[in-house]
Amino acid sequence: MSATPTLEIRNLHIAIDGKPILKGLTLNVNKGEIHALMGPNGSGKSTLANALMGNPKYTVTEGSILYKGEEILELSPDERARKGIFLAFQYPTAIPGVSVANFLRNALTMRRKEMGEEKPLPPKEFRALVKEKMALLKMDESFAGRYLNDGFSGGEKKRAEILQMAVLRPEIAVLDETDSGLDIDALRIVSEGVNALTGPDLGVLLITHYQRILNYIKPHFVHVLVDGRIVKSGGAELALELEKQGYDWIREDQAA
């Protein structure tokens, strides 16, 4: 009997304001795996990311989302995050008045409670942990004192998200178009951070429109989403094929 997938999406149908967006999406992501989900604009990529984290604007009309065998559709976004599902947003929200360090401390305390650790990490250990992870992401230590995403550049926002991922140690990370708006240096640094965090304890679903981030983060699996359905899956070579031929050949393949 096969082991239970870490994240199991079964026949997922999602509508926004009554309009169907996802039309029967099925996908499993296990710890230790990197999956890239690619597709043209409007195919439903960000809809999936929002649905996985429980955004109430997205109505699940059919199907299920299981995390370690447990149905999570009824759980709030906060409960899903505490259990170990992480979403790096395409457009992270600014939180003036809340420093990066304070945000991380509170989020880590909640995550630790979920894992059975009732006491917060002592301040000295917390500071050492954040310092270590910031060094990994080539971030200046002063960054921890800034208000979260307030006045941050695109690259700084994405690095702040990856820093959260490094500190909270989720089991599934959904990266929604992490490469959007990044110049080549910021893309490389963010990608190196993701690569440093990936391993047997983390499964990654990397949602992207372009192949370029896959030059830095090597996926084990590539899936192509068109009109709300995964129409093709393969290895890393599939992304290179898409880069060469675009998405039209997939559509033509489907129509044939």
Q: pLDDT tens digits, residue range 84-132?
A: 999 887 777 888 999 999 999 999 999 999 888 888 999 999 999 999 9
Residue 137 falls within a domain, yes or no?
yes
Min mean pLDDT across 22-31, 155-164, 198-207 is at: 155-164
pTM of the shown model: 0.91
Query: Is residue 1 situated within a structural domain?
Result: no
Q: Does a structural domain hold residue 2?
A: no
Please state, as a whole number, how many other Cβ atoms lie within 10 Å of the Cβ of residue 5: 19
* 177: Cβ contacts below 8 Å, ≥ 6 apart: 45, 46, 90, 207, 208, 209
Q: What is the spatial distance between Cα 19 and Cα 69, in angstroms, rounded to a whole number?
A: 29
Please tell me the distance from the alpha carbon of residue 174 to that of residue 106, in angstroms, as a whole number: 21
Q: Are strands 59-67 and 7-16 parallel, antiparallel or unpaired?
A: antiparallel
Amino acid at site 80 = R
- Higher model confidence: residue 118 or residue 75? 75
* Bridge partners, residue 8, by sequence: 28, 66
Question: Residue 185's pLDDT is what?
Answer: 85
Evaluate whether 243 touches 224 at the Cβ level (below 8 Å). Answer: no
pLDDT on residue 1:
40
Share above pLDDT 90 across residues of the chain, in percent, rounded to a whole number: 61
Confidence grade of residue 83 (pLDDT, cut at 50, 70, 90): very high
Residue 55 lies in a domain: yes
Looking at residue 250, what is its pLDDT?
74
* 152: nearest Cα among 162, 165, 143: 143
Beta-strand ranges (E) seen in the chain are 7-16, 19-29, 34-38, 59-67, 70-71, 85-88, 95-99, 147-148, 172-176, 203-208, 221-226, 229-234
255 pLDDT above the threshold of 60: no
Domain limits for position 234: 7-255
- Report if residue 163 sits inside a domain: yes
pLDDT tens digit sequence for 185-216:
888 888 988 898 888 999 999 999 888 899 99
What pLDDT is stored for residue 139 in this prediction?
87
The total number of structural domains that make up the chain? 1
In a domain, 228, yes or no: yes
| Mean pLDDT score of the chain | 90
The count of other CB atoms within 10 Å of the CB of residue 32 is 14
Residue 84 lies in a domain: yes
The CATH number linked to 233 is 3.40.50.300
Interior angle at CA 160, CA 142 and CA 207, nearest 5: 165
- CA–CA separation, 180 and 169 (whole Å): 23
